[in-house]
Structure 1
Amino acid sequence: MTAMLKLEDISHTYQTGEVETRVLEGVTLEVREGEFLAVMGPSGCGKSTLLNIVGFLDSPSSGSYVFEGEEVARYPEKRLTELRRASIGFVFQSFNLIEDLTAEENVEIGLIYRRMPGAQRRERIADALAQVGLSHRAGFLPKQLSGGQQQRVAVARALVSNPRLILADEPTGSLDSANGDAIIELLTGLNAKGTTLVMVTHSLAYAAAASRVVRMLDGRIVSETDMGL
């Protein structure tokens, strides 16, 4: 498999007043097209910061980031936003749904930003909700859905734009085991169809579904395991 993205000697520092906090230190990582990579480590080790940098939600303080052959570490925010909308879907632990929008309206948001015609949007939304088994809940508000169903809507929102890469930050963290299992099954199904997937997780069981696992500690990658899948 060819590389989708390469991080080389990435570091990231947060500045709070006069205090500097180094969150990432010399991270080098390659993610291959079609891969399912799990990122593990204790709280505060830099996992989410790494995912934010991969997804163009944050910029590294130093180092090189090559995404699909382009050096993007110093791109202006407008270009990063364009790349993010075109290439990446996000799934978060807290669902991040808009409470006064229905399931289908939440899924539609990214397509509106891309200025997709209405008929095409409706087709994409229907297909995405069908993929996560929620066609019958399209008109429901988040408060009318269970936690597992809300996360399914979040997955549908991530996949509706046909992203080449999905980034999932603790996608099962707010769910019971049955709903967590269902979300992992959905994500692995998307990966099986060719979508590259990077997932942050605390769960050894869910990390075992990945093709490769990297472990972080104190802002560094300290080990890598090929799961042999």
Structure 2
Amino acid sequence: KFFGEIKVTSQVVGFYKVAWNSYEKLAYEEVDLPPTTLHTTGYWFALGEKVIAKLREAGSWNSDLNDYGPRWNEIRQQVRARDNYCCQICGKPITLCPRCHSRAENVVRVKSGLSGLAYTLGHLAPLLLMCDQYDLGIHADPKSPLGGGQPTVVIYEQIPAGVGFSQRLYERHNELICQAYELVSGCSCEDGCPSCVGPGGVLGSGGKRETLGILGELAGR
């Protein structure tokens, strides 16, 4: 585990219109805004090769990057040419633009154990620190440079330069992981819900089993 200074770059590409009472998503609108950069502090930890190997053996690891085979670049170019180098959803001159790609993935949501872990920690950390939920941001990366190319979860402060939350999370790392394990293992849902690892969607899987496997290894359970 680590904590230190980091630079976070983010960009808002759209927003949902949501019903006031039910939070039902009514529509999606795109916006064209420049990226913003935040210099702050963060706390992060990476999953080592031994942990990942154990999870693979147990069938509890699904966060590897996709391997499309040695001919992927050739096939990709053929598909792009077939589609006239245009996004098949919005018609823009690109195979599948990032915004449409994200929306396509949300149709069939398969939550990985890593993203489920980030969801759980992102909701527990503010309770542990007694701070506002929006004081912290969280990011899960299956191949992060912060973690030496290993799967990494980063919790960072949404306040320029930080106010010490990252160091406190670093110091209470074991407590955070153990509480996360107790939360997920004690939840009565079958495969993820907003109270533990987040919902899996109507289609797809919620990743609860994978998240619990990661937490079990980290907590030594």
TM-score range, shorter chain: under 0.3
Instruction: Choose between structure 1 and 2: higher strand proportion.
Output: 1
Task: Output the TM-score relative to the length of structure 1.
Answer: 0.24
Between 1 and 2, higher relative CO (CA 8 Å, sep ≥ 6) is seen in: 1
Which structure would you say has the larger Rg? Answer: 2
Task: Output the TM-score relative to the length of structure 2.
Answer: 0.25
